[in-house]
């Protein structure tokens, strides 16, 4: 533990206030607690630079030979490409040309992946291939039945609150979805498919999992699909989000 805290001290701490429930805690207290968990989720708003600062800090603080980085931002079918890049067998340019990176990859996620590469740590491409998610969004779960990789996939759809929150979110952004020939129920099934595949992708590994906060807030989403009891969650609040102490085990907010 002493070595762990010494390593953390070498990493620059971003600005912010950390809450555990209704209590403000120190960054060291948060890290000491997170380090004991088998799985740590870090929920973000994808375009939030504040969240990306904290993700890089948390990964540098928690990374080890026993803990991998899992990313929503890459899909499971590019795992071999990701492994080749981490091993130095292909260049970053070759990797990105074939791996369908997000538009903000180089600025926001590459620092975490490169830290893993430089230190010999593993990275998991966790998300479902977008083609399969689109198939379910158009035609329900039946659209992927029989597809390779989905034969043994188990999907828990019992979380009523998660469904209500998802459908309410879809309704609130309805204007942005004008013309999309998909039913809200099938969009929700596509969301569940993503959660289930991301849960399946980590297997029994110890990970720090970076995902959109909707996938991990209130211990729902991906967590509904996991059986591990050693899970802790962190949410980095977006600039206009209201503080809610029960959204995650640790909630990080901007300093006023």
Q: Are strands 231-236 and 23-25 parallel, antiparallel or unpaired?
A: unpaired
- Is 2 within the bounds of a domain? no
Q: How many CB atoms lie within 10 A of CB 18?
A: 19
Question: Strands 67-75, 206-212: parallel, antiparallel or unpaired by DSSP?
Answer: parallel
CA distance 197 to 201: 6
CATH number at residue 208: 3.40.50.11550
Instruction: Note whether residue 7 is domain-resident.
Output: no
Range of the domain at 42: 17-253
Question: How many domains in the chain?
Answer: 1
Q: How far is residue 233's CA from residue 216's CA, in Å, rounded to a whole number?
A: 7
Please give the chain's pLDDT, 256 residues, in tens.
544 555 555 678 999 999 999 999 999 999 999 999 999 999 999 999 999 999 999 999 999 999 999 999 999 999 999 999 999 999 999 999 999 999 999 999 999 999 999 999 999 999 999 999 999 999 999 999 878 889 889 999 999 999 999 999 888 776 554 455 678 899 999 999 999 999 999 999 999 999 999 999 999 999 999 998 899 999 999 888 888 889 999 999 998 7
For residue 180, is it within any domain?
A: yes
Query: Does 52 reside within a domain?
Result: yes
Residue 8 is assigned to a structural domain of this protein: no
Q: Checking DSSP bridges between strand 231-236 and strand 206-212, what pairing results, if any?
A: unpaired
Is 4 inside a domain boundary?
no
């Amino acid at each position: 533990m002493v070595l762990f805290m010494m390593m953390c001290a070498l990493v620059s701490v971003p600005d912010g206030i950390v809450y555990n429930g209704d209590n403000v805690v120190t960054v060291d207290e948060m890290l000491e607690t997170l380090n004991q968990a088998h799985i740590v989720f870090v929920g973000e708003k994808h375009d939030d630079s504040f969240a990306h600062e904290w993700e890089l800090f948390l990964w540098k603080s928690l990374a080890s030979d026993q803990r991998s980085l899992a990313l929503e931002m890459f899909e499971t079918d590019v795992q071999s490409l990701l492994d080749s890049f981490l091993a130095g067998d292909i260049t970053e340019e070759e990797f990105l040309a074939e791996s369908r990176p997000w538009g903000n990859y180089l600025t926001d996620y590459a620092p975490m992946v490169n830290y893993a590469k430089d230190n010999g740590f593993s990275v998991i491409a966790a998300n479902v291939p977008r083609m399969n998610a689109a198939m379910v969004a158009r035609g329900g779960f039946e659209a992927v039945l029989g597809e390779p990789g989905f034969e043994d996939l188990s999907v828990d759809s019992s979380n009523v609150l998660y469904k209500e929150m998802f459908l309410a979110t879809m309704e609130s952004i309805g204007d942005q979805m004008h013309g999309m020939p998909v039913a809200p129920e099938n969009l929700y099934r596509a969301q569940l498919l993503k959660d289930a595949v991301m849960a399946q992708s980590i297997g029994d590994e110890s990970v720090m999992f970076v995902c959109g906060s909707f996938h991990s807030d209130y211990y729902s989403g991906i967590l509904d699909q996991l059986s591990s009891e050693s899970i802790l969650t962190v949410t980095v609040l977006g600039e206009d989000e209201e503080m809610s102490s029960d959204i995650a085990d640790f909630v990080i907010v901007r300093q006023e």
